[in-house]
């Protein structure tokens, strides 16, 4: 989704240009060619690939969305921090953050931010 939108928005907002130029790692079983600047396909076992990336020096790895990928990384204890956005909307149904039977993860709240729209951003770190 981002790859189809962000390159065309270059120059409009500083964060768009930053995301366009920063390294991006893509977990996919269907993609072969990545056209977005500085994009790299994680080949083979995704959990092993992410574990290798985490060992490298540099910035934190950030994942947007990707419900299935999140579950895989959670199973392999590869998520250090969660940023959960609480929207000011109540729904009677929808996708759960965790799958039924997912293992318990103890978290410490390290930051809270509420933006003008009423969205609460809760930052938790995994307690290992």
What does the pLDDT read at residue 67? Answer: 85
- Quote the strand ranges of 1-128, DSSP E: 24-26, 39-41, 81-86, 107-114, 120-126
Which residues share a beta bridge with 86?
Answer: 120
What does the pLDDT read at residue 64? Answer: 81
What does the pLDDT read at residue 119? Answer: 96
10-residue stretch averages of pLDDT, the chain, 128 residues long: 86 88 90 90 93 92 86 93 94 85 92 96 94
Residue from 74, 76, 113 nearest 97 by CA: 74
- Centroid of chain to Cα 38: 17
What does the pLDDT read at residue 86? Answer: 94
What's phi and psi for 25, nearest 5 deg?
-115, 125
Q: What is the pTM of this model?
A: 0.81
């Amino acid at each position: 989704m981002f790859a189809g939108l962000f390159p065309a928005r270059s120059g409009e907002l500083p964060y768009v240009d930053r995301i366009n130029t920063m390294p991006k790692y893509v977990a996919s079983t269907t993609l072969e060619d990545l056209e977005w600047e500085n994009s790299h396909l994680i080949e083979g076992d995704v959990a092993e690939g992410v574990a290798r990336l985490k060992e490298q020096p540099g910035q934190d790895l950030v994942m947007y969305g990707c419900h299935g990928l999140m579950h895989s990384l959670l199973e392999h204890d590869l998520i250090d921090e969660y940023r959960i956005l609480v929207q000011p909307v109540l729904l009677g149904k929808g996708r759960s953050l965790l799958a039924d039977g997912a293992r318990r993860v103890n978290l410490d709240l390290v930051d809270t931010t509420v933006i003008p729209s009423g969205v609460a951003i809760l930052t938790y770190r995994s307690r290992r």
